[in-house]
Every structure is written in structure tokens, then in C-alpha cells.
């Protein structure tokens, strides 16, 4: 029962952090400019860097949170239930990344750099979009990866295999050998 509770708490906390990360992403990422035409909104500059910058800011925000959650999860799971926390970091990281995307699209804050397009054209800042869906995996991958890296370092540090011959003398106690050759 404690394993399920640890899993659920981890997923819930990361989901809540995903909402806050969405607001932060909305504050940091620039909006691409759109031109309003009779056919609807069109991207004013198809080669705009705002689309790439939005993906980059998403990766930075969720990546930093993934590293922080991985370190916190490792420190809090030292009492003996790391599997539930690791699974919670993976599932909660996916949920947090999704909620970051949803909240970031809904909240309309941040940089709105729009320049004039020409006579009779109305230029407006567009919504945040994620053009590289692979960055959705930054949070869970970095969280679980850091958790396993910290676990590996701690396991190696405590391992008797780290010392030569497993920490044992390969020749046994000196009194067991007869120096006279008998």
C-alpha cells in the first residue's frame, strides 16, 4: 500500500509542478507573429525563430524541473521504496510535460514581439505551439536518468567490488602460510 501511495504522491506533485511550469513557459517563450487575412491567420514569417525558441524554452523549463525532481526523488526515496518513486517520476514527468503544454497554450503571458507587416495588414502574436514533440520527454527522461545515475554512484561507492578482491585478502591470513615450506 505504501508503494502505491508513494507513486500517487509523486505523480500528483509532478502534475502540480507541470501547471506552474506552463505559466513559466508562457512567460519566457516568444510568440510567433501572424498576419490576419481573409482566409484566416497566416504565419507572418515562416522562417521565424520564435517557433524554435518556444521549443527550446519548453525543453529548458521541463529539463530543469526534471533534474530537480530526479534529485529530490532520489533523496526522499532513500528510506527503501525507490521503485515506486522511479515509476512516479516517469509517469509524473509525462503528466507534468503534458500539463506544461496545456497550461502554456492557455495562459497568454510573456514576450510578444510583433513588427509591422505592411499596409492594410494586421499582425498579431500567435499562440504558443510545440513544433518538436520530442521535447515532451525531457522531464521524465532527465528525472529518471538522474535518479539512476545517483543510485549507481551510491551503489558503486558502497560496493565491496570497488576494493580489490572484494575487500578480502586474496592470500588469506598470514598465519595460514607456513614460511618453512612444510
Distance between CA atoms of residues 72 and 91, nearest Å: 16
Distance between CA atoms of residues 173 and 150, nearest Å: 36
Q: Which of 103, 124, 111 is CA-nearest to residue 33?
A: 124
pLDDT of residue 179: 59
In this prediction, the residues of the chain whose per-residue pLDDT falls under 50 are: none
For 67, counting Cβ atoms within 10 Å of its Cβ (0-12 exposed, 13-18 middle, 19+ buried), the class is middle
Q: Which of 150, 160, 161 is CA-nearest to residue 82?
A: 150
Distance between CA atoms of residues 43 and 103, nearest Å: 22
pLDDT of residue 176: 52
pLDDT of residue 51: 80
pLDDT of residue 128: 83
Amino acid at each position: 500500500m505504501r508503494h502505491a501511495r508513494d507513486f500517487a504522491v509523486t505523480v500528483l506533485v509532478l502534475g502540480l509542478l507541470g501547471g506552474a511550469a506552463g505559466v513559466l513557459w508562457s512567460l519566457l517563450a516568444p510568440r510567433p507573429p501572424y498576419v490576419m487575412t481573409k482566409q484566416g491567420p497566416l504565419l507572418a514569417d515562416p522562417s521565424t525563430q520564435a517557433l524554435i525558441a518556444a521549443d527550446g524554452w519548453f525543453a529548458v523549463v521541463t529539463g530543469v524541473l526534471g533534474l530537480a525532481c530526479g534529485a529530490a526523488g532520489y533523496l526522499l526515496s532513500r528510506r527503501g521504496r525507490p521503485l515506486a518513486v522511479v515509476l512516479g517520476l516517469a509517469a509524473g514527468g509525462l503528466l507534468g510535460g503534458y500539463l506544461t503544454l496545456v497550461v502554456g497554450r492557455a495562459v497568454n503571458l510573456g514576450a510578444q514581439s510583433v513588427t509591422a507587416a505592411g499596409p492594410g495588414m494586421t499582425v498579431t502574436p500567435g499562440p504558443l505551439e510545440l513544433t518538436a514533440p520530442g521535447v515532451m520527454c525531457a522531464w521524465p527522461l532527465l528525472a529518471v536518468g538522474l535518479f539512476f545515475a545517483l543510485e549507481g554512484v551510491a551503489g558503486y561507492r558502497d560496493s565491496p567490488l570497488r576494493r580489490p578482491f572484494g575487500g578480502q585478502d586474496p592470500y588469506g591470513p598470514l598465519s595460514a602460510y607456513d614460511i618453512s615450506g612444510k
